[in-house]
Structure 1
């Protein structure tokens, strides 16, 4: 990696003292005296300070990460690429670090960065070394991110925050033979002194901004951004493979990642990368609480070559952890701050329950087996396809699929090869093997309106494998259009396991499966099942599901007129699974209704996401042209022989051909996207208890659809009729159906059950 620096204005200061003191004493190495680190018998240290004046900045014209310099594949094609942050000496794009004020305006104070280094001896006589870096509010800004070619950019990003990074080693620094080290990363000055995440506060929230075009373009903003990783006790070091961070058994690790998503669609160049009255709130998202058995490995290797399996240069992370009882997932309204009170109504998903492991599985609640970041070029270096219905192993390039369902479900190998120079994001062996057994509605106006009725949203993910190739696009915001990116994607979220002789799903399909269900986890207060006394609740939904998403050359745009816009001429989506229910978490007495299989293939796909102008909802629109991809010359995405279809089969995995099937579906469906000016389209709205006449919160999803000739194609003109080419029962053709034109309105409302 290399950097070219220019126009640096900074003042350095350092001092050594027997008692380490500096102006930001709240972040000094006093943390070493906490119970987790033991008693410290002696300290000598040094603090190194760096100051950037309020009108100054540390800048770099270009930061380059060189990958596979001089390396070639089996066909002698070059593997060399480089990731570029900033621009070149010719243009104004750059990387900068500078002081900034809270709203993104010019700084009113200097940037102070301090690094404290201290050696000590703990109460057990072992030496230790601590590194503790802190900084007040600053902006880290990259005006461009590109791969090899600086004329093509993913866009620009800026992060405003204060923070802290500290590593306290035990028995020496980076020592793998101890589990008494501590690691802290704190962005937003989060106070986690109380283990209860509902008490955590953020003194200095961060903000992140992203745009695809020049200054003044539409921005996505993350407000009230906080990130905390605090491993109170564990191992932090380096082995022969790379970096290792691992928590000690039985120790506490705190994790927080929370933010509000906002859109700034009426921005100007003078207010670029600023939070202001044009910032429209959309969504609150957060993970917070305790995690256990944390294990991270960071490896200096990238993707693999198909000919010999050798790894290229890049970065691969392997991560897993269990969820503590107090871990929460929060989702709800984003709101402007009002005197420090954000007045947000949201859903809190908590009290995680691990899926059973009666088959002897050794795993964690959340597993990111392998996540690889690398670069790719057109025509080579593909890692191979994704097996849908089969296993996907890290480091292997499959030429065919081996079943992971005992032959019960069909297998397909789907591959979209890299079509350009860009980033590769590859993952294998991911899974989520726990679910929240408690969902609480928290009202942003009055705690008296909070609701806790003992229900659960069960979303487990059995096995996840993806290939993502992202290609930056050319653009200067004026003559060449806006920068951004296109992408090729194949993602499979699957369930492994087959069926018994009677066609019932075997045990592994529940314990290792993908499930999308709603549960009642408070039913034992009014009902007790004598045949299953270990049941903690009842749930209904889709069990043992498989999800597939594949897109070729999908454009991703961000603008005032189109919002967040996804578009492609080759898209396939499939969802299949058993609709049923039973006791959770063990599912000892399942009841099955029907096996549902829905496959959508599109030769034109558009999806747009907009903020509501008053910030109280999320609007969406789009266009689907249903087709049969196998009939499209040159299509890279393999389709099904029935094209777009919907199937309802007998609840027996050995008899899935006994079904009612709507096959060879073609035609156009539009969700109008003119709702910013005229209303219509789709809307997702969380209605708070104080907004509703009956005093009960609701989640409402509304959709208007124009079908057939009433749909308007993205390029203009009437849509094609919606036609069901074959209506089948048990493989017997019963004829066809056609809908020349129609308007369809749907509304789904989830609300509190009446007492």
Structure 2
């Protein structure tokens, strides 16, 4: 593995200032508190500075990450590739770092980097080394990202921000045996001096821009971007496997990732990578608060060869942590910030509750077991498929599936072999084992309209395994036939565990499973704890669920007419689980209603999403041509012989064949979006308390659907009738049903009662 920079050009007028042996008492360690600094017995250091004048930049024609040079697989096929940031020798300066102003215009001041280096001794008599890097607002821009073939690109990206990166070592700089180190990564100048995330402020918010085509193309923009990772105490070191960052037991680590999503739909080359009046707000998203027991391992290895399990070159991360009581998931309105007070209305999901571990499990609330970044090429050996209904182990290439449900659910191995040269993003052994037990509505106009509810949003994820292969294309994403990139995807989110002799789910299916539920945490169960009144309640929804998503050669585009769009001629989506409810979090007295299994197979799939033209809602739409993928020669993601089906079975995992089944469903369904900005198909709208007559906020999801001949195919022409070719009960055929044409309108509104 090696990295290479071609023809890097350092600005001649840049200078380095290094006042050696200059004491950095207030600057180099300024983020440490008086208590933290009180144990340091002596400090001496230097500051190294780099300045880029306001009208200049640091540029490079190309940065290359070489992978597996000269290596081959068991079939003697080359696995060599390289990731390219920038352009070619005839298209210079495609990677740049330069000063920038807040609005994206030319900088009014120089870009200053400063690296402070300190040596000291802590209160335990161990030496320490501190590195503290800071920079004012700058733009890092890459006009191309390719894999081996420079003529095809994922697009262009730019990041505007100031920031800080600091590491204060303990017992040296990378000592694995001590736990008094500190790590700070701060993009956006976030002030987290108070542990309450609701008090955190961002003095210099970042911005990120992405486009698939040339300057002037439609952009996805992230505004008010802030990222903070502040591990107050822990271990930073290197072991035999790679880099280790681990928080100390009982210590505090702060995490913040928040941003507003915008779409710039009427851009020009002169306003490229700028937030302006053409930028339409879409969504506020955020994770913020405290995390505990943080553990990160960064390994210098990629995917694996199926013949002997040898790892290729790449990068793999293993990460896990628990959620503190104040951790929040934030979702709401995006607003253009022009006064420093955005007046946003949003939902805050907080007070996380960990799933029970009465079976002796050792795990964390959030687990990213293995996340691997590597490259792939058509023709050479892949890592193999993903077992749906069975286990998936990191570093293992399955030849078949071994059940993880005691045989109560079927198993199948799904593999889409790489069809092109691109990036591989592989994950194994992921999970989310906690849920929020409280939701707070915060009104952007008046705090008097705020609402604090004991309402649980339960979306635990038992075991997640994914193969993503992303292929850059030569298109610009402006039309459905010219995607910016394409991808092959297989994702399985599963519940492991079987059933007892009476068909009731094992305890492990609750404690370790995937659940999609809503609940009332103001209800008191028999094990209610007055000191923790939101830790229990009642919930209803899908328990012990499994979710499968697979897509072959799915194109991804971004344009004014079609928004962010996904299209493919081979897609499968399956969701199954037990509908029921009971007490949470222990689920000591569950009530089961029916086992639901929905399998959708499509030979023409289109999905679009974008903000409405005035920014007050999110529009979505698309087209589904339901089919039986078994009828497609060479299909790699075929499922049941029933093709597309919907099943309602007894709430008994040993009798899932006793069901009412709508099988072999074919035909067309359209959610119309002739112009995604104008809507007319589907809409997601957060209605604020201020704009509603009853003073109550609401989340409303509306959908208009055209069925059969009233649907319009993406390539033109009327849709095919919707047919249910078999209606079955307990495996016995009761007939069929056909809908030649029709319209369906649905509306789902969530509001306070």
Where on the TM-score scale, by shorter chain, does this alignment land: which range?
over 0.9
Q: CA deviation at 1:24?
A: 11
- CA distance 1:709–1:143, shift in 2 (3 Å): same
Alpha carbons 1:668, 1:721 under 8 Å: kept? yes
* CA–CA separation in structure 2 for the residues paired with 1:31 and 1:331: 30
Alpha carbons 2:28, 2:118 under 8 Å: kept? no
Deviations 1:639-665 (A, max 9, x none): 211000000011010110110000000
Deviations 1:736-755 (A, max 9, x none): 000000011111111111xx
- CA distance 1:13–1:543, shift in 2 (3 Å): same
Mean Cα deviation higher: 379-388 or 725-734: 379-388
Alpha carbons 1:93, 1:144 under 8 Å: kept? no
- CA distance 1:353–1:530, shift in 2 (3 Å): closer
What's 1:34 paired with? 34
Q: CA deviation at 1:611?
A: 1.1
Three-state SS of the structure 1 residue aligned to 2:524 is helix
Mean Cα deviation higher: 18-27 or 647-656: 18-27
Q: CA deviation at 1:674?
A: 2.2
* CA–CA separation in structure 1 for the residues paired with 2:518 and 2:676: 33
What's 1:710 paired with? 710
Deviations 1:207-259 (A, max 9, x none): 00000000000000000000000000000011111000000000000000000
* CA–CA separation in structure 1 for the residues paired with 2:604 and 2:537: 43
Three-state SS of the structure 1 residue aligned to 2:664 is strand
**TM-score using structure 1 length:** 0.96
Q: CA deviation at 1:676?
A: 4.5
* CA–CA separation in structure 2 for the residues paired with 1:340 and 1:135: 22
- CA distance 1:658–1:266, shift in 2 (3 Å): same
Mean Cα deviation higher: 187-196 or 628-637: 628-637
Q: CA deviation at 1:14?
A: 12
Alpha carbons 2:689, 2:697 under 8 Å: kept? yes
Alpha carbons 2:183, 2:230 under 8 Å: kept? yes
- CA distance 1:642–1:733, shift in 2 (3 Å): same
Alpha carbons 2:18, 2:47 under 8 Å: kept? no
Listed as ranges, the gaps of 5+ residues in structure 1 are: none
What's 1:231 paired with? 231
Equivalent positions of 1:714-729 (< 5 A) are: 714-729=714-729
Three-state SS of the structure 1 residue aligned to 2:581 is strand
Alpha carbons 1:99, 1:139 under 8 Å: kept? yes
Q: Does 1:348 align with 2:377?
A: no
Alpha carbons 2:23, 2:44 under 8 Å: kept? no
Q: CA deviation at 1:16?
A: 12
Q: CA deviation at 1:30?
A: 2.8
- CA distance 1:605–1:15, shift in 2 (3 Å): closer
Three-state SS of the structure 2 residue aligned to 1:439 is strand
* CA–CA separation in structure 2 for the residues paired with 1:343 and 1:16: 43
Alpha carbons 1:16, 1:47 under 8 Å: kept? no
Alpha carbons 1:119, 1:129 under 8 Å: kept? yes
- CA distance 1:168–1:16, shift in 2 (3 Å): farther
Three-state SS of the structure 1 residue aligned to 2:404 is coil
- CA distance 1:24–1:433, shift in 2 (3 Å): same
Three-state SS of the structure 2 residue aligned to 1:509 is helix
Deviations 1:476-519 (A, max 9, x none): 79999966210000000000000011000010000000000001
- CA distance 1:579–1:532, shift in 2 (3 Å): farther
Alpha carbons 2:479, 2:562 under 8 Å: kept? no
Alpha carbons 1:627, 1:667 under 8 Å: kept? yes
Alpha carbons 1:540, 1:581 under 8 Å: kept? yes
Alpha carbons 2:525, 2:537 under 8 Å: kept? no
Alpha carbons 2:370, 2:429 under 8 Å: kept? yes
Q: CA deviation at 1:94?
A: 1.2
Alpha carbons 2:19, 2:46 under 8 Å: kept? no
Indicate the RMSD between aligned Cα atoms, in angstroms. 2.7
Deviations 1:421-461 (A, max 9, x none): 00000000000000001111111111111111211101100
Three-state SS of the structure 2 residue aligned to 1:322 is strand
Q: CA deviation at 1:635?
A: 1.5
Mean Cα deviation higher: 118-127 or 269-278: 118-127
Deviations 1:24-61 (A, max 9, x none): 99853233454346521211111100000000000010
**TM-score using structure 2 length:** 0.96
Q: CA deviation at 1:379?
A: 1.7
Q: CA deviation at 1:147?
A: 0.2
* CA–CA separation in structure 2 for the residues paired with 1:326 and 1:533: 15
Mean Cα deviation higher: 524-533 or 117-126: 524-533
* CA–CA separation in structure 2 for the residues paired with 1:284 and 1:414: 35
Three-state SS of the structure 2 residue aligned to 1:270 is helix
* CA–CA separation in structure 2 for the residues paired with 1:468 and 1:275: 31
* CA–CA separation in structure 1 for the residues paired with 2:7 and 2:116: 27
Deviations 1:84-138 (A, max 9, x none): 0001111246111000000111111000000000101122222110000000000
* CA–CA separation in structure 2 for the residues paired with 1:530 and 1:126: 45
What's 1:589 paired with? 589
Q: Does 1:213 align with 2:213?
A: yes
* CA–CA separation in structure 1 for the residues paired with 2:237 and 2:726: 61
Alpha carbons 2:703, 2:747 under 8 Å: kept? yes
* CA–CA separation in structure 1 for the residues paired with 2:300 and 2:533: 49
Q: CA deviation at 1:5?
A: 6.5
- CA distance 1:478–1:610, shift in 2 (3 Å): closer
Mean Cα deviation higher: 539-548 or 334-343: 334-343
- CA distance 1:528–1:176, shift in 2 (3 Å): closer
- CA distance 1:177–1:5, shift in 2 (3 Å): closer
Alpha carbons 1:213, 1:482 under 8 Å: kept? no
What's 1:638 paired with? 638
Mean Cα deviation higher: 201-210 or 450-459: 450-459
Three-state SS of the structure 2 residue aligned to 1:29 is coil
- CA distance 1:15–1:533, shift in 2 (3 Å): closer
What's 2:143 paired with? 143
What's 1:448 paired with? 448
* CA–CA separation in structure 2 for the residues paired with 1:697 and 1:515: 26
How many residue pairs get matched?
753
Q: Does 1:744 align with 2:749?
A: no
Deviations 1:655-694 (A, max 9, x none): 1011000000000000000255764100000000001000
- CA distance 1:641–1:126, shift in 2 (3 Å): same
- CA distance 1:475–1:193, shift in 2 (3 Å): same
Listed as ranges, the gaps of 5+ residues in structure 2 are: none
Mean Cα deviation higher: 23-32 or 215-224: 23-32
Three-state SS of the structure 2 residue aligned to 1:198 is helix
Alpha carbons 1:280, 1:611 under 8 Å: kept? yes
* CA–CA separation in structure 2 for the residues paired with 1:51 and 1:218: 33
- CA distance 1:93–1:657, shift in 2 (3 Å): farther
- CA distance 1:641–1:270, shift in 2 (3 Å): same
Q: CA deviation at 1:566?
A: 0.2
Deviations 1:492-547 (A, max 9, x none): 00000000110000100000000000010011299989999997100000000000
Three-state SS of the structure 2 residue aligned to 1:91 is coil
Deviations 1:54-74 (A, max 9, x none): 000000100000000000000
Q: CA deviation at 1:600?
A: 0.1
* CA–CA separation in structure 1 for the residues paired with 2:224 and 2:44: 37
Alpha carbons 2:63, 2:84 under 8 Å: kept? yes
Alpha carbons 1:83, 1:147 under 8 Å: kept? yes
* CA–CA separation in structure 2 for the residues paired with 1:373 and 1:96: 24
- CA distance 1:469–1:25, shift in 2 (3 Å): farther
* CA–CA separation in structure 1 for the residues paired with 2:640 and 2:524: 45
* CA–CA separation in structure 1 for the residues paired with 2:295 and 2:13: 37
Q: CA deviation at 1:610?
A: 1.6
Mean Cα deviation higher: 675-684 or 37-46: 675-684
* CA–CA separation in structure 2 for the residues paired with 1:476 and 1:375: 22
Q: CA deviation at 1:637?
A: 1.5
Three-state SS of the structure 2 residue aligned to 1:36 is helix
* CA–CA separation in structure 1 for the residues paired with 2:131 and 2:595: 56
Structure 1 ranges of 4+ moved more than 2 A:
1-28, 30-38, 475-483, 524-535, 674-679
